[in-house]
Structure 1
Amino acid sequence: MGRTAAILTARLIFAGVFAMAATFKFAGMANTAAYIAAAGFPVPLLLAWLAAIFEVALVLAFLSGAFFSEAALLAAAYVIFLALSFHGPSHWQANQAEFGFFVDHFTFFAGLLYAAVHGPGERLTLRQGTLWKGSEASTN
């Protein structure tokens, strides 16, 4: 019971973080685009929309368990990209808090990698991912 509760709590946390990020993007798409442009990326409004949609897809995967391991791996890559692009070493001299944001992304990255390897758990999970085999695979 404790294992199931821990896994479901982790899934809710992952979903919650990406849901908040998507909500902030949808609520202030122009601000998000400006932030992306300030980092030097082209077509910032398109990238802002793609990021928000991607985050919604991650939320759905974490909540449902469908394609969970794949979503966790993609989320891990996304989180490292964000850390390097928006909180990397070039930002530290101007604002030392950026180093803390940078390091925080790596702890989230580690959790996502762990989740990708161990799968969505036994409860409240759609069995549609290709990486995670679950207990059914070990009994067949």
Structure 2
Amino acid sequence: MNAETTTPAWQSIAILVGRLIFAAVFLMALVFKVMDIDATAGYIAMAGFPAPLLLAWLAAIFECVLVICFLTGAYFTEAALLAAVYVVFLGFAFHGPSHWAGNQAEFGFFVDHFTFLAGLLFAAVHGPGRILALRRSAFGRP
């Protein structure tokens, strides 16, 4: 008998709810991007990045893949780690120190990215749980 089979039901449910929350956050970001991809590209351009429309579509595709991984549990650890890097990048690129002087609320948005980062790192370590999880991994462990 291993720890996975002795996990209390409430913990398995909590992990599943966490996965659903991660999926929902990235799904909302994806939907908003696709609903007005030109506005997203404009926001990316204002941050000074080249090829903003291409980057907007790449971000949308990436977020779609993250949603699939969080919903299915497949490549969950890898997805959580990549999402963690993405979230930190977004925090610095769009809400970092250069934005704080113009709008104090930007500091709060920046800090929120690190709260999200903490959850993603915790999820990456603990995996997708045992409920509704395909448990595929490039790291050689389910």
Shared fold (TM-score, shorter chain, > 0.5): yes
Task: Please give the root-mean-square deviation of Cα atoms over the aligned residues, in Å.
Answer: 0.9
Paired positions, count: 134
State the partner residue of 2:83: 75
Secondary structure, aligned partner of 2:138: coil
Contact 2:41–2:56 (Cα < 8 Å) also in 1: yes
Determine the structure 2 residue equivalent to 1:105: 113
1:137 alignment counterpart = none
- Contact 1:69 1:117 (C-alpha < 8 Å) held by counterparts: yes
Counterpart residue identity of residue 5, structure 1: I
Write the distance in 2 (CA, Å) between the matches of 1:65 and 1:92.
37
Deviation at 1:21, TM superposition (A): 0.1
Q: Which residue of 2 aligns with 1:35?
A: 43
Aligned to 2:69: 61
Amino acid at match of 1:39: A
Deviation at 1:132, TM superposition (A): 7.1
Q: Residue 128 of structure 2 contacts residue 135 of structure 2 at CA under 8 Å; is this kept in 1?
A: no
Partner of residue 4, structure 2? none
SS in 2 for 1:82: helix
| 1:22-81 C-alpha deviation (Å, 9 max, x unpaired) | 000000100000000000000000000000010000000000000000000000000000
1:122 equivalenced with 2:125 (yes/no): no
Distance 1:131 1:118, change over 3 A: farther
Per the normalisation by structure 2, the TM-score is: 0.92
Structure 1 unaligned regions, length at least 5: 135-140
Tell me which residue corresponds to 2:94.
86
Q: Does 1:44 align with 2:52?
A: yes
Runs of 4+ aligned structure 1 residues displaced above 4 Å come to none
Contact 2:74 2:137 in 1 (8 A): yes
1:129: Cα distance to partner? 1.2
Instruction: Output the amino acid matched with 1:84.
Output: F
Q: 1:131 aligns with which of 109, 114, 139?
A: 139
2:34 maps to which residue? 26
Contact 1:66/1:125 (<8 A) preserved: yes
